[in-house]
Amino acid sequence: MEFDIEEEANDFYNAYSGRIGFSIRKEYGNKVNGRITSRALVYSKEGVKGTDKRDVFRKTPRAETRTNCGAQMVLRYDKTKAKYVVSKFVKSHNHPFIIVECSHIMPSQRRISSVQAIDIELASDSRVPACNAYELMGRQSGGKESVGYLEVDLKNYLRTQRQNELLYGEAAWLVDYFETHACEDPSFFYSLQLDTEQMITNIFWSDCRMIIDCGHFGDVISFDITYKVVHSNRPFAIFWGMNHHWETAVFGAAIMYDETADSFVWLFETFLKAMSGKVPKTIITDQDATMAKALK
């Protein structure tokens, strides 16, 4: 068996695995001067699961799926023929194959096409929940087994798209918006928290009116993080209170990456910095345990 390029071998093996009921993965590959000289493709049940110290503390540990199956195919580059050839092929399996009706759940057979991606993004833009969108895709395809991917793949695709948008679109626009307002209003305050990869995690901002209101009416503050979520599924939190007319006064706003104690600590410290160290006498929250830990 000879192949012009490695990708053709992968496509052949993927299609072959879909017909006989097993899924594959890339085990290893050797590269010399930028060219892949060998590649091993093994079955997904190859090897055994390593020991995990956390398993003893888990109530519902993951099921064991590997059976140390030895089926594999090894490709190597033949310089004399200038082609990739199969140097080793083991077809024996130590487990039953997956039936054809369940082949759509195998990882190597699950793909989201460009047309399906457009439908997924349209459903997301229309605020259709992922579970409902997947149900719709299944009915259009004549059954979920004909969709070509699982609901978890749909959710992963949407999460990846939102992360990319936040990285290259929304984040840059937001920083530019803050910088513009800071130039127009010297009292405008904003702060961004970055992670180890210099990615934006938590965002806080407060304008001149908010800071003045907090100075006058910030003795009692309500902090609400359950108000709503933004388009990227990040919690939108607000610091607010009441003025002397019993009207709602917003003191600050934030977009949170998560609801961990470290995020809350950064947010509360940033809020105090924005308000020139003015500490409220009373804070009303939803009694969240991590939030209470951060408040201390």
pLDDT at 3 over 70: no
Residue 230 is predicted with a pLDDT of: 53
Residue 167 is predicted with a pLDDT of: 57
Q: How far apart are CA 226 and CA 129, in angstroms?
A: 19
Average pLDDT over residues 101-118: 76
Q: How far apart are CA 35 and CA 29, in angstroms?
A: 10
Q: How far apart are CA 274 and CA 181, in angstroms?
A: 15
Average pLDDT over residues 192-203: 77
Tell me which of 242 and 125 has the higher pLDDT. 242
Inter-helix orientation angle 130-141/151-165, to 10°: 130
Residue 232 is predicted with a pLDDT of: 56
Is residue 100 within 8 A of residue 21, CB to CB? The reply is yes
pLDDT at 180 over 60: yes
Tell me which of 90 and 109 has the higher pLDDT. 90
Lowest-confidence region among 128-137, 198-207, 281-290: 281-290
pLDDT at 17 over 70: no
Residue 43 is predicted with a pLDDT of: 76
Tell me which of 207 and 163 has the higher pLDDT. 207
Tell me which of 73 and 19 has the higher pLDDT. 73
Q: How far apart are CA 150 and CA 189, in angstroms?
A: 44
Tell me which of 109 and 257 has the higher pLDDT. 257
Tell me which of 213 and 22 has the higher pLDDT. 213
Lowest-confidence region among 6-20, 108-122, 179-193, 243-257: 6-20
pLDDT at 12 over 50: no
Q: What percent of the chain has pLDDT over 70?
A: 77
Query: Which residue's entry shows tokens 């304008």?
Result: 207
pLDDT at 128 over 60: yes
Residue 206 is predicted with a pLDDT of: 92
Tell me which of 114 and 99 has the higher pLDDT. 114
Residue 136 is predicted with a pLDDT of: 87
Residue 52 is predicted with a pLDDT of: 64
* Whole-structure pTM value: 0.43
Query: Token digits for 109?
Result: 């057979």
Where exactly are the structural domains of the chain? 1-103, 110-184, 185-295
Reported as a single tens digit per residue, the pLDDT across 68-78 is 777 778 888 88
The phi, psi pair for 158, rounded to 5°, reads -65, -40
Query: Token digits for 143?
Result: 């059954």
Helix (H) / strand (E) element for 39: namely strand 35-43
Tell me which of 266 and 9 has the higher pLDDT. 266
Reported as a single tens digit per residue, the pLDDT across 249-294 is 999 998 888 778 888 888 899 999 999 888 888 888 876 777 777 7
In one-letter notation, the amino acid at residue 257 is Y
Closest to 149 (Cα-Cα) out of 108, 118, 119: 108
pLDDT at 248 over 60: yes
Is residue 122 within 8 A of residue 112, CB to CB? The reply is no
For residue 16, name the pLDDT band (cuts at 50, 70, 90): very low
CA quadruple 89, 92, 95, 96: dihedral positive or negative? positive
Q: How far apart are CA 226 and CA 214, in angstroms?
A: 21
DSSP 144: G
Residue 129 is predicted with a pLDDT of: 87
The phi, psi pair for 83, rounded to 5°, reads -145, 160
